[in-house]
Amino acid sequence: AQSVTQLGSHVSVSEGALVLLRCNYSSSVPPYLFWYVQYPNQGLQLLLKYTTGATLVKGINGFEAEFKKSETSFHLTKPSAHMSDAAEYFCAVSEGRGAQKLVFGQGTRLTINP
Amino acid sequence: GAGVSQSPSNKVTEKGKDVELRCDPISGHTALYWYRQRLGQGLEFLIYFQGNSAPDKSGLPSDRFSAERTGESVSTLTIQRTQQEDSAVYLCASRLTETQYFGPGTRLLVL
């Protein structure tokens, strides 16, 4: 069975600083990996995804993530934080092609300090 | 284009009452999911519909929870005899290929 661990339920960075949100997964087969963002009182919006191919994937709003199979990680980064990045971020894994369900991490709340 | 819509956006009910939550998926999306998100927590899978196949109900927490879907369109999640522990945001998502697209959710409060 798959699982997702997001290290740090709360992360706080200064505006302009590097954002790093950690995600580790377990899966018995090659996974599909996703990062979603949730703004207050809204649904989840897809930031980026890894399915196959290039392990460094770029998403919206300047975010990117790198799939590292050897480390079973899919950490999310952004070089320079903006106040509008304050939100809850969720990492999710599915079992790849044909898989039907996503397993989500517990989420990381990102706070940006001015 | 139109995204996933859910109604109502908020629902307050009394313990013991039944509630129905509605989801309108993106047109043409064959798969539809319901999730529950308790305060400060991640998403719990509830149920999944794919075309005409039997739904995957493995995430439903009790027999008080049920869901239906009409063809490849609207879905309704029903919670009978609501309990305070059912208070949460209920999110619906639809999918055509590998990506699930989420609605804004229904915030349910059971008093």
Q: What is the pLDDT of residues B50-70, one digit of tens each?
A: 988 889 999 999 999 999 998
Nearest to B102 among A32, A44, A101 (CB): A44
The predicted pLDDT at position B78 comes to: 98
Q: What is the mean pLDDT of residues A6-29?
A: 94
Residue A101 has its nearest CB partner, among B41, B42, B45, at B45
B60 has a chain A CB within 8 A of its CB: no
Burial of A93 (0-12, 13-18, 19+ CB in 10 A): buried
Give dist(CA A4, CA A43) in Å, integer: 20
The two three-digit tokens of residue A90, written as one number: 């969720």
Q: Is A103 in contact with B102 (Cβ distance < 8 A)?
A: no
A4 and A103 Cβ atoms separated by less than 8 Å: yes
Cβ–Cβ below 8 Å for B99 and A104: no
Q: Cβ contacts of residue B6 below 8 Å, gap of 6+?
A: B21, B22, B23, B24, B90, B91, B92, B103, B104, B105, B106
Tens-digit pLDDT profile for residues A32-60: 999 999 998 788 999 999 988 889 999 99
At A72-110, the pLDDT tens digits run 999 999 999 999 999 999 999 986 555 578 899 999 999
- The stretches in chain B having pLDDT less than 50 are none
3-class DSSP state of A71: helix
Report the length, in residues, of chain A: 114
